[in-house]
Structure 1
Amino acid sequence: MDALVLLLTLAALLAVGMPVAFAVGLSAVVGALWIGLPLEALMIQITSGVNKFTLLAIPFFILAGAIMAEGGIAQRLVNFAYLFVGFIRGGLSLVNIMASTFFGAISGSSVADTASVGSVMIPEMEKKGYPRAYAAAVTASGSVQAILIPPSHNSVIYSLAAGGTVSVAALFIAGVLPGLLLGGSLMLMCMLFARRRGYPKGEPVTLKAALKISMDALWGLMTVVIILGGILSGIFTATESAAVACLWAFFVTMFIYRDYRWNELPKLMFRTVKTVTIVMILIGFAAGFGAVMTWMQLPTRITEFFTSLSDNKYVILMYINILLLLIGTLMDMAPIILILTPVLLPVTNALGIDPVHFGMIMMVNLGIGLITPPVGSVLFVASAVSKQNIETVVRNMLPFYGVLLVVLALITWIPAISLWLPKLLGMM
């Protein structure tokens, strides 16, 4: 009955349109009052939830991504990706996905990826004969890579939701191969579509132009080297690498590329602070919500429920995948991670599933939710950038959903895709 009151309160508040962060916080208050928990104890949990050094990585990564997104990096990464795959039939769709790979390794945000790469690639693809809705579908599905490829903000949030027991650095490195697998699978499908539909090849680039494009893009790509190189070498922690990457992004944007005006910086800072504030409020309230769930012994009950369904961990993972896919269509990614990780992690731990592996499973599931109606934020951005209605974009997304589900199955049932690289580098 305790858990029912908590969950029904949350569902009712979301149903009437209350913002997710406040719905989570108010549900925690109702749950605490129901079980007789002093509100002072709940407030301690809420403040403790945001009083963590690791969380400093989030504002730094968000700011670095925002600076690079608005400072001309997207066009340069598109040009750089063109050197590798632009000459292939259907090359612009491949360039779109590869540019998302590069940009995701800088921004860590699927929404920023879709907005930045999409604003460059969707008009260009339409000009070369690709349907605009198809270009939007390619952009949206390719941007899911940003959730997996470091530096993913959501990996930091997952580490926090797991109680700090999972290393952010291990999650970053674990996301590399799943992200590349996702991007490669989407590119393969785009090549098949290009051959079947007769999409054009791109023009070859001269050696002189290729060198100029590479040098121009190198400044932005150094952000990736700073983040991963600093973490792997042990020079930086994940949080410190975020701060250094932020400084580098500012230097490159304002002094190297110089496509961004100084008088626009205050507006960018305001938008970044607004985003970070929303995230931090959500994290704090979710910490209180999770504490109330723990006091109600909800994680223990859910663990017993799942383990009673089957003794095969892959069958249970299938059930969890279905649950995450369904919830991912109804809520945004961050609140789901914060609410469900403390609930589902005991289940997967009881089955002997590595928490880093489960983190990748959760990321892919919820990444699919970002491009799935009715609450797919990335889908909405792709629709807005392409000026196509949601229904048209979703119809073009159907084959991409199929590829994403296949990738999800591979990542779920082949743990080595996620764990091989962290183990190789001695992070596990």
Structure 2
Amino acid sequence: MVPAVIGAFFLLALLGMPLALSLGLASVGGLWVGDLSLSVLPQRMMHAVNSFPLMAIPFFMLAGELMIRGGIMERLIEFANSIVGRVRGGLAHVTVLSSMGLSSVSGAAVADASALSATLVPAMRRSYDVGYGSAVVAASSNLGPIIPPSAAMIVYALMAGSSVSVGALFMAGVVPGLIMTVAMMITCTVLAKLRGYSLTGEAFSLREVARQTKRSFIVFMMPVIVIGGIVGGVFTATEGAAIAVVYAALIGFFVTRRLSLADLPPALFRAAITASIVGALIAFASALTFLFTVELVPMRLASAIQAFTADPTVFLLLVMAMLLVVGMFLESNAAYIMLVPLFAPIALEYGLDPIYFGFLFVLNLVVAMLTPPVGVLLFVVGGVSRLSIGEMVRNVWPFILVQYAVLALCFFFPPIVTTLPRLLGY
């Protein structure tokens, strides 16, 4: 039954049906073939989405929307420009740093890509070729799911159960996120020199840096309060996300004064769309997970893998290689929902640190958002800049290599991932 269900899912997805509906119809078929009651489907769906941690996703999405509409994003860009705007490839560096700042609130690569594309692609078009500028935006958007908060890590923790906490995964992403930021800025510098891009922006001035720091200080306090409160146990990830929404709204209304009541309905609408897509995937995939459990798929898979190798490093390499391929063809949220319940328990049996395994799992699928043919960031940024996927790939491949190099670094040196969470008591 399981091979038929998986085959039906991929067939429906290849025919162009939305992934959530593909999962749902494949699950219905599996229940019918397995002579199981169809009443299981609504029960499992409701149980899956009736989750307090899952509520953090729409709140973080809404906080990101309010940052963009409230002029907060512009302050981050101006601050970054005051520091690195005059170096070689300065606008690209500004994009990377701005994405890092936006990532500390939004937690989603697609949201970051949409915001940065509309704001920075037109500016970079005037100084660089549009393909390079679009590639920088797409690549830097991947900081969203790595630097906390992260919607991807919330979904992973939800699907992995009690083996790993959201806060632990958040902290695991801090050091790798900073490493990836520096690595991409180095890449931007090298590419700018190779392509002969001229200097842009105003000359560096400590007075201007101090002025922009003062203007942006209240913005910088948002991730400090939100992430610090979550890690310190003051409030949960969901409560922290709600606080981020209130904080962003207060800044937008009373500090930048760029946010109006008319901005709230479209911000709520966009946040609701993103959250509903994730919720639908989780709801429909829960029935598929139930079928896997009934058919003892996790136990059989664990036995097969353990019979193949007893080495946890080999197991981890196999999983990473599989995710590299899966990420090219399957949307990342669907991959978390389908694969985490299968592999997270097996990783525990191999004695792998659940924080280490979980972060590598997330990072692998995050990088896959840049890889064709289903690299969602390529479609988002390419749509704004009116570039074909082929042209996007030709420009983004150096950044893909850099991000996979960071993944390899985390793989071979686990303390990069685990030290900070352990210091904080996770």
Shorter-chain TM band:
over 0.9
> Which residue number in structure 2 is paired with residue 145 of structure 1?
143
Residue 35 of structure 1: how far off its partner (Å): 2.2
**Match for residue 373 of structure 1?**
372
Equivalent position of 1:43 in the other structure = 42
Q: Give the secondary-structure state (helix, strand or coil) at the position aligned to 1:144.
A: helix
Q: How many residues were matched structurally? A: 425
Between stretches 169-178 and 214-223, larger displacement belongs to 214-223
1:330-341 matches, cutoff 5 A: 330-341=329-340
Deviation at 1:397, TM superposition (A): 1.2
The Cα offsets for residues 249-294 of structure 1, whole Å up to 9 and x where unpaired, read as 1111122222233223222222222332222222111222111111
CA contact (8 A) 2:79 2:213 kept: yes
What is the match of residue 176 of structure 2? 178
Residue number in structure 2 paired with 1:301: 300
Residue 133 (structure 1) shift = 0.5
Describe the SS at the equivalent of 1:352. coil
1:387 aligns with 2:413: no
Cα deviation 1:33-88 (Å, max 9, x = unaligned): 22222223343222111112111211211111111122222222111112332232
Q: Residue 358 of structure 1 corresponds to which residue in structure 2?
A: 357
Distance 2:69 2:358 in 1: 30
Letter in 2 for 1:62: M
The one-letter amino acid of 1:225's match is V
2: CA distance, partners of 1:117 / 1:87? 20
Q: Is the 8 A contact 1:93 1:135 kept in 2?
A: yes
Aligned to 2:223: 224
The answer to whether the aligner puts 1:292 opposite 2:291 as a matched pair is: yes
Question: Can you list the C-alpha shifts for 1:155-198, whole angstroms capped at 9, x where unaligned?
Answer: 11111111243211111111111111111111122222223333
Does the residue aligned with 1:236 lie in a helix, a strand or coil? coil
Give me the whole-angstrom Cα distance separating, in 1, the residues matched to 2:304 and 2:400. Answer: 29
- What residue number does 2:249 align with? 250
Is 1:190 the counterpart of 2:164? The answer is: no
Residues 413 and 307 (structure 1 numbering): CA distance in 2 closer, same or farther, change over 3 Å?
farther
Question: Would the aligned equivalents of 1:105 and 1:150 in 2 still touch at CA under 8 Å?
Answer: yes
Specify the SS of the correspondent of 2:144. helix
| Structure 1 Cα separation of the partners of residues 193 and 248 of structure 2 | 39
Contact 1:49 1:288 in 2 (8 A): no
- Residue 399 (structure 1) aligns with: 398
1:16-95 → structure 2 map (5 Å cutoff)? 16-95=15-94
Whether the 8 Å contact between 2:114 and 2:381 is mirrored in structure 1 is yes
- Structure 2 match to 1:423: 422
Q: Deviations over 1:16-49 (max 9, x none)?
A: 2221111112222222222222223343222111
Distance of 2:233 and 2:403 partners within structure 1: 34
Provide the rounded CA distance (Å) in 1 between the counterparts of 2:31 and 2:411.
36
Return the alpha-carbon distance in structure 1 between the equivalents of residues 132 and 308 of structure 2: 41
Deviation at 1:224, TM superposition (A): 0.7
SS for the counterpart of 1:148 is: coil
Q: How far did 1:109 drift? A: 1.2
Structure 1 portions without partners, runs of 5+: none
Between the aligned partners of 2:387 and 2:14, the Cα distance in structure 1 is: 27
Q: Residue type of the partner of 1:345? A: A
Residues 306 and 316 of structure 1 are in contact (CA less than 8 Å); yes or no, is this contact kept in structure 2?
yes
Residue number in structure 2 paired with 1:134: 132
| CA–CA separation in structure 2 for the residues paired with 1:184 and 1:242 | 27
**Aligned mates of 2:304, 2:202 — CA distance in 1:** 58
1:403 is displaced (CA, Å) by: 1.0
Q: Is the 8 A contact 2:69 2:263 kept in 1?
A: no
* In 2: Cα distance, 1:403 partner to 1:270 partner: 35
What secondary structure, in the 3-state scheme, does the structure 1 residue paired with 2:22 have? Answer: helix
Check whether the contact 2:13–2:22 (CA below 8 A) recurs between aligned residues: yes
The one-letter code of the counterpart of 1:344 is F
Aligned to 2:318: 319
Aligned-residue CA RMSD (Å): 1.8
Post-superposition CA distance 1:335-374 (Å, at most 9, x none):
1101110111123222211222122112221112211222
If the length of structure 2 is used for normalisation, what is the TM-score? 0.95
- For 2:238 and 2:145, locate their aligned partners in 1 and report how far apart those are by CA, in whole Å: 17
What is the aligned partner in structure 2 of residue 348 from structure 1?
Answer: 347
Superposition TM-score, scaled by structure 1 size: 0.94
Sequence identity (%): 37
CA apart distance, 1:205: 4.1
Q: Matched residue of 1:171: which SS?
A: helix
